[in-house]
Structure 1
Amino acid sequence: MLVRDIMTSPAITVRAGAKIPEVARLLRAHQISGMPVLDDDGALLGIVTDHDLILRNAPVREPRYFAILSGYIPLSLEEHRHYKEQLRHTMAVTAGDMTEPGVPTVTPETPLEQAMELMLDPKVTMLPVLDNNEVVGVVTRTDLVRLIEKLEGAVDPEATAQEVASEPVLSGLCEVILYVQEMSVMVHFYRDQLGLRVEEPADVADLSGESWVVFETGATKLALHSGGQQRPGESAPMLVFAVADLAAARTLLVERGVTLEEPFEAAPGVLVCHGRDPEGNPLALEQR
């Protein structure tokens, strides 16, 4: 999935020279919490948010200083930074005066997983979407919450594996695995994509120094490797499921349209079974 699939477009924007009352009016009229700020040529300068407006009108708190000789040293650098930021906002007359440069941006073709990782930073509440340096949309936390609502509602949490067996989710998950490096991102944004219950992030194991996410249905659990391995002669990485019961896992995945070969002993005490999902992507089951 790409940014263009969920972004809000066209974006509500404001010129850098817009006065503060105009900024407040636009935010209220469109019921948004922020918007990109553009220069006279339409180039992105940054964003302005409702937080900026509140900070501009809040009482200014002077930081505490330690007097030494004829100088003053702030006791807290963070407190001093906040004071300087608030002074700048208090003296602001236009949207451009409040704009912080260097805001993260994405393009319509940016993988959604990358945008999600950027927005894990609590300071990043909006991502302007640029196409040839032109603002064509924005991705907000509301857009992501809307997506999560759709994903969470796509599969009945009480549904059995057989009831969702016909859904073409394995190949979609494969694409997610290839893009996502942080397992926590996949757990939070892609749970239930196999139609299986996903254990809480605290239960995600780190097996042999590698990250795994654990799916379960009934008594069967499958630990899915985040990166995959390369099978000789294959151009695409495999999805590797670590399982405690190879026979039960085989039954579960065959019900979902997965084609599996006969298992073999890859090493003493290690059973491996190769196969392909309904889209032809390679996968493997591994029992130790």
Structure 2
Amino acid sequence: MQAETIMTAPVIGIVPSASVAEAAQLMLSNRISGLPVIRGDGTLVGIVSEGDFLRRGELGTERKRSRWLEFFVSPGKAADEYVRANGRQVEEVMSDDVITATRDASLAEIVELMARHRIKRIPIVEAGKVVGIIARSDLLRALLPPQSAMAPTFVDDEQIRQTILAELAAQKWVAKDMINVTVDNGVVKLSGAIFDERERQAAIVAAENAAGVKAVKDDLFCADPLSVILVS
């Protein structure tokens, strides 16, 4: 799946010269937590979010330090903090170092960007202009199965069993031939040994994700690796 598939378009944005109050009102009325800052020609110049409004003079929440710590803050940094706490226009408080992606970026790439840069939204840009935006909520919507996938499908027990065995065989946390899988009328029974309790839930999840599974019965036991070696 690519970015274009789940991005929100057209984008709700705001011009650099808009007031901080206008940006706050736009976010509240549209129930969004951030806005790309876009010039009249569609060019992206920054992004403004709820986080940019946390340290504000109106709220009395501007950054305060002890005199001792204030001594180590450069005049430039102090000036920047003052502008962000008291600036009236969006361009004065926005972040201009924006992480963007293209239409054909994969969801894996989008998630990696969000995680690496600790951001909640990524504008999708084409030729320097914003064509869409992906927020975390868009990723949540992508988790929902399409309507066609909601209809029940018949999968016979042996197909289910082979699917689960193949999934387990591909996982490095599964000891070879230690987990047994049987299926009766769509009900999966897991038996055998695991060596870490966390493997129990992982094996159950692997079984639950196989098409046609109605329920999973857990008969796994957690064994000491040394004891299994001695018995074998």
TM-score (norm. length: structure 1): 0.50
- Please, which of 241, 244, 248 is the counterpart of residue 176 of structure 2? 244
Partner in structure 1 of residue 52 of structure 2: 52
Residues 55 and 63, structure 2, Cα contact 8 Å, conserved in 1: no
Given that residues 161 and 196 in structure 1 are in contact (C-alpha distance below 8 angstroms), is that contact kept between their aligned partners in structure 2?
A: no
1:72 is matched with: 71
Within 5 A, what are the aligned runs for 1:68-217?
Answer: 72-74=71-73, 86-121=81-116, 123-150=118-145, 162=156, 215=167
Pairwise CA distance, 1:84: 6.0
Structure 1 residues 173-226: Cα deviation after superposition (integer angstroms, max 9, x where no partner):
xxxxxxxxxxxxxxxxxxxxx9759xxxxxxxxxxxxxxxx94xxxxx22358x
TM-score (norm 2): 0.60
Name the aligned partner's letter for residue 6 of structure 1: I
Partner of 1:34 in structure 2? 34
Name the SS of the counterpart of 1:103 in structure 2.
coil
Moved >3 Å (runs of 4+): 83-86, 159-166, 194-197
Please state how far the C-alpha of 1:104 moved relative to its aligned partner.
0.6
2: CA distance, partners of 1:27 / 1:42: 19
Q: 1:63 aligns with which of 45, 62, 65?
A: 65
| TM-fit CA distance, 1:61 | 3.3
The alpha-carbon deviation at position 72 of structure 1 amounts to 2.5
Tell me the secondary structure at the aligned position of residue 55 of structure 1.
Answer: coil
What's the C-alpha RMSD, in Å, of the aligned pairs? 4.1
Measured after TM superposition, the shift of residue 94 of structure 1 is 1.0
SS in 1 for 2:55: helix
d(CA) in 2 for partners of 1:21, 1:164? 62
Change in CA separation of 1:24 and 1:66 when aligned onto 2, cut-off 3 Å: closer
Deviation at 1:145, TM superposition (A): 1.6
Identical positions, percent: 24
Question: Structure 2 CA distance, aligned partners of 1:243 and 1:62?
Answer: 55
Q: Secondary structure at the match of 2:122?
A: strand
Q: Aligned pair 1:14/2:8, yes or no?
A: no
CA-CA distance at 1:17 after TM superposition: 0.5
- For residue 223 of structure 1, what is the aligned residue in structure 2? 170
SS at match of 1:46: strand
For residues 89 and 39 of structure 2, the distance between their equivalents in structure 1, rounded to whole angstroms, comes to: 12
Structure 2: stretches of 5+ with no match in the other structure: 184-232
| Superposition deviation, residue 73 in structure 1 | 2.4
**Larger proportion of strand:** 1
Change (3 A) 1:61 1:50: closer
State the partner residue of 1:233.
none
Quick one: distance in 1 between partners of 2:45 and 2:18?
13
Amino acid at match of 2:64: E
